[in-house]
Amino acid sequence: MTKKTKPTNNNIKKGPGVFSLLKPYRGMVLLLLLFALLSNGINLALPKIVGNGIDAWPKNYVLVQVLTEFLSAAVIIFIFTYLQGILQVRTSEKVARDLRTQLAYKISVQSHAWVEVSNPSKLLTNLTADVDSIKMFVSQAIVSIASSVIIIIGACIMLFSINWKLALVIVAIIPIIGGAFFFVLKKVRVIFLQSRQVIDRLNKVINESILGAAIIRVINSQQPEYEKFLEANTKAKSLGLSILRLFAGLIPVIIFTSNMAGLSILVIGGKFVINGSMSLGDFAAFSSYLSLLIFPILVIGFMSNIIAQASASYQRIKAVLDVPDIPDEGTHAETLKGNIELKDVSVTHGQKPVLQHISLSVPGGSTLAVIGPTAAGKTQLLYLLTGLVKPTTGSILFDDIDLNAYNKENFYSQVGFVFQDSIMFNMTIRENIAFSNSVTDESLARAIATAELKDFIDSLPGKLDSVVSERGTSLSGGQKQRMMLARALAINPKILLLDDFTARVDTNTEMKILKNLRENYPGITLISVTQKIATAGNFDKIIVLMEGEIVATGVHNELMKQSPEYIQIFNSQQSTSNYELQPE
């Protein structure tokens, strides 16, 4: 047994210790152990009562006593097992709930970059599978191990008190079974790790085949996807069979060992009975204690695996919980005037420079267009302005005050951001647009009107209360984009950031929206990433971004004289731009 618990002990010392997790629940755990102790302790007495009954059979008067003893023991066991069950569920669920709450709180105060790096799927696993394995530890391992140890010790004491020589023989099976477990579980854990990777791969193929369903059908690549899947599935099967082979060997070994113990009782105990050093009743009780002894040994073996898994899970959870909070030291809570300035800002992702030495100023109430090729860093520039990405060097000032000095809550309530990809929540249209909690009905109506969504929403049977399906599959690309705009406008922002907003909106609608914007939100500072020269032409200032650097700044006419890059972009659109520049 010492052998068997050793790896577990090592794990506990290494990590933060899954047992330390139980500290706040000390009372509940102690009560739980007490219940387990009582119900199991009394359980131990049962064979002895039966043995006494057998020994006493010629004298009938003891029968009543045996009967009452046995019955009251059974009732007490019933009560305590029941209480233990309830307490076990309550404790483990409480631990799980509290852990989840802590994790969720921790995640909710982290930055966007941290969540991206940590990988949302991994965080999902932390919150579900990892918490579940700790729940399993609390609900099963603690009580099982405690009661198993009690039963083993108790049974051993009883065995030794009945006949120490025979007891020694029986106790010899414990290390044999322990050794078999240690050997098998060590091998199984290695295979478990491999099979977890295979299952991950399996799930990835499944996930991609669901999310990429449309392209797979267009290309008719069901067969190659199936082959990918089959490969992983076959591997999963063969690993499953390897685990099976190990366990298939383990169980018979254990049963055989315990049968051997039973046989020893017969051979050695039989001899003792024959030479009169042991009573028949004791002999029967010995057999009963043997069957009591086997099960807890098995339990400890299996539980050591659960503890190992829970320790690993707890280490992963702890890693998230130990991430330092982002200090929000910002206290500045003035109303923004909309002046934006970037001073020599650079951003690098790993080795890769994304933005280099960007200096830029945008006066409040003015408009700025950002134009440039694919992967030039345009989106990253907007992320910088909202703090989604932190500058590696340089500083970002709003009204001459550093972005970091702003109270985040106050800051975000004044900056509207329309993302390039459509992000819809599975909620009503009203909740999707009035996503921030400071939105009034009036500002909601104005935002919807400005985004040219009123007619569309009115045409829906549920109007504003229609539920948007997940990923917005029920809406067209342009409708989603306009919903995103309405969401950003609903907070009455002082600064509006548009990321390639015009890409999926037709020219006619785009013009109406820009006109609405000027009328309904006068004085707003607008920064728009766009591909269209025609749109950019109406802006107060245009910057041309290439490979993370600003290569030209100015208004349309200036850039047409100074910037070959801009002229190139212009030429690529020239034949049609006269149509788009037409005033309506």
| Burial (Cβ within 10 Å: 0-12, 13-18, ≥19) of residue 264 | middle
Interface with other proteins by CB under 8 A: which range of 4-12, 148-156, 157-165, 576-584?
A: 576-584
How many Å apart are CA 369 and CA 391, to the nearest integer? 21
Q: Compare residues 41 and 85 and give the one whose CB is closer to other proteins.
A: 85
Torsion from C-alpha of 536, 542, 546, 549, nearest 10 degrees: -160
Is residue 353 near other proteins by the rule CB under 8 A? no
Crossing angle of helices 280-321 and 26-55, in 10° steps, is 170
Q: CB of 6: closest distance to other proteins in angstroms?
A: 26
Strands 367-371 and 541-546: parallel
Q: CB of 11: closest distance to other proteins in angstroms?
A: 23
Q: CB of 14: closest distance to other proteins in angstroms?
A: 29
Whole-angstrom Cα Rg for the chain: 36
Among 430, 446, 482, 541, binds other proteins (CB under 8 A): 482
Q: Compare residues 209 and 404 and give the one whose CB is closer to other proteins.
A: 209
Q: Compare residues 359 and 571 and give the one whose CB is closer to other proteins.
A: 571
- The site map against other proteins for 132-151 (x = CB under 8 A) is -------x------------
- The site map against other proteins for 365-404 (x = CB under 8 A) is ------xxxxxx--x---x--xxx----------------
Return the residues of window 229-288 that contact other proteins according to CB under 8 A.
229-230, 233-234, 236-237, 240-241, 244-245, 247-249, 251-253, 255-256, 259-260, 262-263, 266-267, 270-271, 273-274, 280, 283-284, 287-288
Q: 542 in helix, strand or coil?
A: strand
- Residue 137 structure tokens: 């530890």
Total binding residues toward other proteins, as defined by CB under 8 A = 172
Q: CB of 154: closest distance to other proteins in angstroms?
A: 17
Q: Which residue has the tokens 């969720």?
A: 104
Terminal CA-CA length for the chain = 86
How many Å apart are CA 276 and CA 262, to the nearest integer? 20
Q: Compare residues 218 and 327 and give the one whose CB is closer to other proteins.
A: 218
Return the residues of window 442-461 that contact other proteins according to CB under 8 A.
455-456
| Alpha carbon distances (Å) from 213 to 171, 201, 229, 421, 471 | 60, 18, 15, 19, 14
Is residue 57 near other proteins by the rule CB under 8 A? yes
DSSP-assigned beta bridge partners for residue 545: 550
Q: Compare residues 12 and 567 and give the one whose CB is closer to other proteins.
A: 567
Q: Compare residues 11 and 99 and give the one whose CB is closer to other proteins.
A: 99
Return the residues of window 208-227 that contact other proteins according to CB under 8 A.
208-222, 224-226
Q: CB of 358: closest distance to other proteins in angstroms?
A: 17
In one-letter notation, the amino acid at residue 269 is: G
Return the residues of window 67-126 that contact other proteins according to CB under 8 A.
67, 70-71, 73-75, 77-79, 81-82, 85-86, 88-90, 92-94, 96-97, 100-101, 104-105, 107-109, 111-112, 115-116, 120, 123-124
In one-letter notation, the amino acid at residue 317 is: I
| Alpha carbon distances (Å) from 522 to 124, 493, 494, 495 | 43, 11, 9, 11
- Residue 329 structure tokens: 């030291």
Among 204, 318, 357, 518, binds other proteins (CB under 8 A): 204
Q: CB of 13: closest distance to other proteins in angstroms?
A: 30
How many Å apart are CA 73 and CA 49, to the nearest integer? 10
Q: CB of 486: closest distance to other proteins in angstroms?
A: 12
Interface with other proteins by CB under 8 A: which range of 147-155, 167-175, 336-344, 430-438?
A: 430-438
Is residue 557 near other proteins by the rule CB under 8 A? no
How many Å apart are CA 274 and CA 301, to the nearest integer? 37
Stated as kind and residue range, the H or E segment containing 549 is strand 549-554
Whether 286 contacts 267, CB under 8 Å: no
Pinpoint the alpha helices (H) of 453-563. 454-459, 477-489, 507-520, 533-536, 556-562
Strands 401-402 and 393-398: antiparallel
How many Å apart are CA 405 and CA 397, to the nearest integer? 9
Q: CB of 352: closest distance to other proteins in angstroms?
A: 6
Q: Compare residues 11 and 254 and give the one whose CB is closer to other proteins.
A: 254
Q: Compare residues 80 and 521 and give the one whose CB is closer to other proteins.
A: 80
Is residue 470 near other proteins by the rule CB under 8 A? yes
DSSP annotation of 110 reads S
Q: Which residue has the tokens 């709003």?
A: 398
Q: CB of 336: closest distance to other proteins in angstroms?
A: 14
Q: CB of 501: closest distance to other proteins in angstroms?
A: 11
- The site map against other proteins for 515-554 (x = CB under 8 A) is ----------------xxx---------------------
Whether 438 contacts 377, CB under 8 Å: no
